Amino acid sequence: MDEIKLIDEKGIRLDGRKSDEVREIKMEIGVIKRATGSAYIEWGKNKVLAAAYGPRDIHPKHLKDPTRAVLRCKYSMAPFSVDDRKRPGPDRRSSEISKVITEALSSVVLLEQYPDTGIDVFIEILQADAGTRCVGLTAASLALADAGIPMKDLVAACAGGKVNGKLVVDLMKDEDNFGECDLPMAIVPRKKEVVLLQMDGILSRDEFNELYEMVMNGALKVYELQKEVLMKKYQ
């Protein structure tokens, strides 16, 4: 089978980006009035809404923890978010993403400050175009910051991958579908710690190290945008 050409000789990708370039990102916070905090991100063709509620009473009650708050994130895709209709409701994929996002955010939120409560974050994918878990996590961390929930730092996320044998940052849909590898990563920018790292596909060790640096730089660019949008609300 002929290989689908996703990058030309000059290293320009299908949508005109260079290999280390992140798609255009637009962020907004405080979009949902009833939520404690909320955020909306347009990242390339991705459109993601995140809302944080709480700290509030937690149900079911047996989840209550008298030493810390319980953080619950729920990732879900709208039926119209993809080409074919996505059957609504939780499935294997969204349960997994909810879990990894919850774990990523739990490591930065200061849960000990709100014992016996629950913090709920809902991430809704309105339009998907690869890398939605990164967009969702970035939006969720903005929503938590907007809600005034104490955190060690924001969380910024970005994906990377290997397409036609070349390493690129922030895959779009075709690159994700026909590429060789996908590597989403979320970081705590201040310390450059990794809070989420998944890999789908194959990379050599050297390739991984190189891609790690590229994705780290991509995520730091996302972090700058996050800071900008938070500052803008009170100026």
Partner 1 sequence: MTNTLNIKNRDLVLPGQLIGEKIRSDLECIREGASVFSPIQGLVKLNKREIGVIPLAGIYKPRREDVVIGVITKVLRDRWLVEINSPYSGSMSGEEATRNQSRVDLTDYFRIGDVISAKIARVDEVYSSTLILPWKLTDGQIIEVNPKRVPRIIGKKRSMINMIKEKTRCGIVVGQNGRIWIKGGQDNLVVEAIRKIEREAYTTGLTDRIGEMLDKCIQDTQKTKIKIE
Pick 186 or 203: Cβ nearer partner 1: 186
Q: Cα dist. 84→78, 80, 129 in Å?
A: 11, 8, 13
Q: 53 and 33 in contact (C-beta within 8 Å)?
A: no
Q: How far is the CB of 13 from partner 1 (least distance, A)?
A: 32
Binding to partner 1, residues 129-148 (CB under 8 A): 145-148
What character string, x for contact with partner 1 (CB under 8 A) and - otherwise, covers 41-80? -------------xxxx--------x--------------
- 234 near partner 1, rule: CB under 8 A: yes
In the shown chain, the binding pattern of residues 154 to 183 toward partner 1, with x for contact by CB under 8 A and - for none, equals: x-----------------------------
Quick check: 165 and 19 in contact, CB under 8 A?
no
Q: From CA 100, how far away is CA 93, in angstroms rounded? A: 11
Q: Alpha carbon of 191 to those of 108, 138, 188, 207: distances in Å?
A: 11, 17, 6, 23
Residue from 189, 211, 215, 225 touching partner 1 (CB under 8 A): that is 189
Strand blocks (E) in 23-113: 25-29, 37-43, 46-56, 70-77
Interacting residues with partner 1 (CB under 8 A): 36-37, 54-57, 66, 110, 114-117, 145-154, 188-190, 227, 230-231, 234-235
